[in-house]
Structure 1
Amino acid sequence: MNPGGRRLKQWLIEQIDSNIYNGLLWEDENRTMFRIPWKHAGKQDYNQEVDASIFKAWAIFKGKFKEGDKAEPATWKTRLRCALNKSPDFEEVTDRSQLDISEPYKVYRIVPEEEQKSAVVHQDPAGTFNAAFSQMMICFYYGGRLVGSTVTTHPEGCRISPCQPPLASGFLYGPDSLQNIRFPSADLIENERQRHITLKLFSHLERGILLRANREGIFIKRLCQSRVFWSGQDPQYNPNPCKLERDAVVKIFDTARFLQVLQLYQEGHYQSLEPTVTLCFGEEFNDFSTVKSKLIIVQITALNCQQLVDAVTARRSQYSSGNLEISDDMAGDQMARIYQDLCSYPVPQRASCFRDNLPIPV
């Protein structure tokens, strides 16, 4: 399915079985769930060599760190958390996690392959879509540094803001049914001046933005006072970042356009392809070369489309190496199912169609 995810699953099982990482162990006898240590670096008894060892090992495995480099335990931890959230092989079991004890840990479940396959594409006589089409990977960057990530799970969409909205405030903050996603704490920012300015920007982001994904694409609605700029999935198709107008519903990711570009990528006409949209809060955003200098960047990835890209990339790699015997049949089946379901959906050609059934009602 997801080649990167498969590597993570195999690697992580090997680490659990090795018994060399303190607190990394199986949660049940059937080896369907495992504990992973999750101690905050700010705790007095935090020991980097022990408490960050599994996160450091993942960074080394992925080539993101080598001995002699500057140690960044918070970044190591964020990278592994992002990988776990993104992979279809894992699901956090929040009611088993223990984060308020002296040796805190999270619990993750290994999702069986049969369960993954049945959840990918499923359409009924009513034409409703499976929740998988609403899943987005949302990553937060402060000053170019990855500080957090999460995967959306609500078909109705999500709200991204610095705070929990007041009760019964749908008119100002959007429907209560939306998944509420908060910006990571500014305490994660080491530079004092950058932290101060970011907190000031938060005060202009109170109402936040609304996001919703479906088979047509990803839609956004800006409610906050702060300016928000976005850059789409295809620089050749939409080269310049655009400013979001307040209270307007805007389609920032187009599934039909993605499928066209995916075909070109499969044929070798594109060097790379990422089904990701970038948002920049409070500052002008000219091009990707300036991303690291921005206070708040949020990147949104359509997970189903990312799985397609991963499968195509794996096949391109096999063809270029001439080694076709190692092709993953499961990856091919997954790709075919997602592709067929996406292509079978009649994407509207007129913008007015979106007004008839607003993807993000307020």
Structure 2
Amino acid sequence: MSHFKPLLIPWLRTQIDSGRYPGVQWTNAERTEFSIPWKHALRQDSSSTDVLIFKAWAEVSGNGRAQGDPSVWKRNFRSALRAKGFKMVDDNKNDAANPHKVFHWPDDSASGANSSAGSQDQEDPDIFEDCGLPTQESQVVSCFDDCLYLPEETLFSETQFRISVYYRGVKVSEQLVENEAGVRLVYSPELIGTVLDYESGLSLVFLPSPGAMLDQTQAKLTQRILDKLGDGLDVGVSGHVVYGQRRGEIKAFWSFSKFDRSIQPQEVSKLQPEPLYMFRDFLQGIKDFTEGRACPPCSLFFCLGEKWPDDRPWEKKLVTVEVVLTSMELLKNLAVGGGASSLQSVELQMSLDEMMEMC
């Protein structure tokens, strides 16, 4: 049996009129503009009530979307708004007291806007939702060509993480983690590989034992750091943000490059998840690259137990970890490896602009 779902426009008007969703309300007497709470998941005051309207649309639109997470609900809701001609007129998502966005009702929807009923037995033309994670460079180009308006998670929420561990500049392990939520770096001498932590949704990545290093002093100091790693270091993705949080006793520092010469140590917070990299900044970097500037980073480097960057090269640090987001790496490689000309197409520039606007 075909799945029936309500038309977005009359459904949404009914929901706004109902007043059952906190913060979802008309903002003018003509009822042509309305506000929607738009709170980032990493905020300390975020709660389940912030995403009720997104979840409601996920439930009525079917296809198992209600089984996703809030970032997916928000993405699908926004994609549906864009497909039906809603325009954002005020972006206050970073407001400290009341993060929200204001949208304008489609001008050509007067006939359907006042209807409280109606259904369709086909999906809305949300072409952006099915683009998926490309696995080849040609698919990236096709993805951009086919989708002028890409959702925030088309590339990024489906990323994988490639984790490389270095002890005193020597790579001692590398593994690919297929978990778009992220990883938690931990140490357990009897375990190797990865294990999913069901409570956090992150994959536990076990750092290897120093083993029989030639320099036993180095091995002893490295072991001391690993033993104090405790609950580890989180590196994950939430919405448009790559975040980090230290959970163990040992301090952690980070940079975009292992050759960072800034001599300005950046410590990862232990108090709360800390934004490290905004996808908007990466997209802007790709746009800048098409204009002849340097290509943006797609990796994060972490130094455990020692301040960094400082006046010592990274190869002298006891424990460093490189975390590569593979979806960003794929797009970067496309740009660097002879694909820059394709990145200069009008369609792609529009796609990048739209993605940045949504970040």
TM-score, structure 1 as length reference: 0.49
Which has the higher Rg, Structure 1 or Structure 2?
2
TM-score, structure 2 as length reference: 0.49
